[in-house]
Amino acid sequence: MKTKVTEKGRWERELEVEVPAERIETAVAKAVKSYQRQLEIPGFRKGKVPLTLVERRYGEAIRQSVVSELLPELVGEATQTEKLVPAAPPRVTKLEHQPGQPLSFTATLDVWPEVQVESYEQLKAARLVHTVTDEEIDRRLKELQERHATEEKVDRPLEKGDVLIADLQRLDEGGLPIVGERYEERYFIIGGENAPSPQFEEALIGISAGEERQVRFSYREDMPDQDLAGKQEHFGVQARQVHQRILPPLDDEFAKAVGESFQHLAELRQHLGQQLQRQWDYLARQRLRGDLVNDLIRKNSFDLPESLVDNYLDSLHRREQGQHRDHDHEHSEEQRNYAVRRLKTFLLVEALRKQTGIAVGDEEFDTFIEQRAAERNLDPEALKRSPRLDDLRQELLEDKIFDFLAQRAEFEEQVV
198 CB contacts (<8 Å, ≥6 apart)?
220
Tell whether 120 is covered by a domain: no
State how far the Cα of 137 lies from the Cα of 280, in Å rounded to an integer: 13
Number of H helices, E strands in the chain: 11, 11
pLDDT band at 266 (very low <50, low <70, confident <90, very high): very high
Q: Which residue has the higher pLDDT, 301 or 48?
A: 301
Q: Is the pLDDT of residue 332 over 90?
A: no
Shared-domain flag, residues 156 and 288 = no
Tell whether 123 is covered by a domain: no
- Looking at residue 76, which CATH number applies to its domain? 3.30.70.1050
Q: Is the pLDDT of residue 322 over 90?
A: no
| Pairing outcome for strands 410-415 and 124-129 | parallel
Q: Is the pLDDT of residue 375 over 90?
A: no
**Which stretch of 22-26, 146-150, 320-324 has the lowest confidence by average pLDDT?**
320-324
Q: Which residue has the higher pLDDT, 402 or 55?
A: 402
Phi-psi region of 123 (alpha: psi -120 to 50; beta: other; left: phi over 0): beta
**Which residue range is the domain that position 89 belongs to?**
2-110
This prediction has a pTM of: 0.73
| Pairing outcome for strands 163-171 and 232-246 | antiparallel
The pLDDT value given to residue 401: 95
Q: In the chain, how many domains are there?
A: 3
Shared-domain flag, residues 265 and 237 = no
Which letter does DSSP use for residue 231 in this model? Answer: -
Tell whether 268 is covered by a domain: yes
Shared-domain flag, residues 395 and 299 = yes
Of 110, 125, 158, which residue is a domain's last? 110
pLDDT digits (tens, 9 = 90+) for 65-109: 999 999 999 999 999 999 999 999 999 999 999 999 999 999 999
Q: Summarize the confidence of residues 110-134 as an average pLDDT.
A: 93
Of 52, 83, 110, which residue is a domain's last? 110
pLDDT band at 321 (very low <50, low <70, confident <90, very high): confident
Between vectors from CA 198 to CA 195 and to CA 200, what angle results, nearest 5°?
105
pLDDT digits (tens, 9 = 90+) for 203-233: 999 999 999 999 999 999 988 888 888 999 9
Q: What is the DSSP string of 367-382?
A: HHHHHHHHHTT--HHH
| Partner residues linked to 338 by β-bridges | none
Of 226, 246, 266, which residue is a domain's last? 246
pLDDT digits (tens, 9 = 90+) for 92-101: 999 999 999 9
pLDDT digits (tens, 9 = 90+) for 359-374: 999 999 999 999 988 8
Shared-domain flag, residues 88 and 216 = no
Tell whether 38 is covered by a domain: yes
Tell whether 133 is covered by a domain: no
Q: Summarize the confidence of residues 33-53 as an average pLDDT.
A: 81
Tell whether 130 is covered by a domain: no
pLDDT band at 327 (very low <50, low <70, confident <90, very high): low
pLDDT band at 326 (very low <50, low <70, confident <90, very high): low
- Looking at residue 190, which CATH number applies to its domain? 3.10.50.40
Shared-domain flag, residues 328 and 381 = yes
Shared-domain flag, residues 306 and 404 = yes
- Looking at residue 307, which CATH number applies to its domain? 1.10.3120
The pLDDT value given to residue 318: 83
State CA 359 to chain mean position distance.
Answer: 26
Between vectors from CA 314 to CA 312 and to CA 317, what angle results, nearest 5°?
115
The pLDDT value given to residue 377: 81
Under 8 Å between Cβ of 127 and 413: yes
Shared-domain flag, residues 209 and 275 = no
Give alpha helix (H) positions in 39-187: 51-81, 134-147
Percent of residues, the chain, with pLDDT higher than 70: 98
Per-residue exposure over 80-99, b if at least 16 CB sit within 10 Å of its own CB, e if not: eeeebebbbebebeeeebee
Q: Is the pLDDT of residue 269 over 60?
A: yes
Shared-domain flag, residues 187 and 51 = no
Shared-domain flag, residues 262 and 226 = no
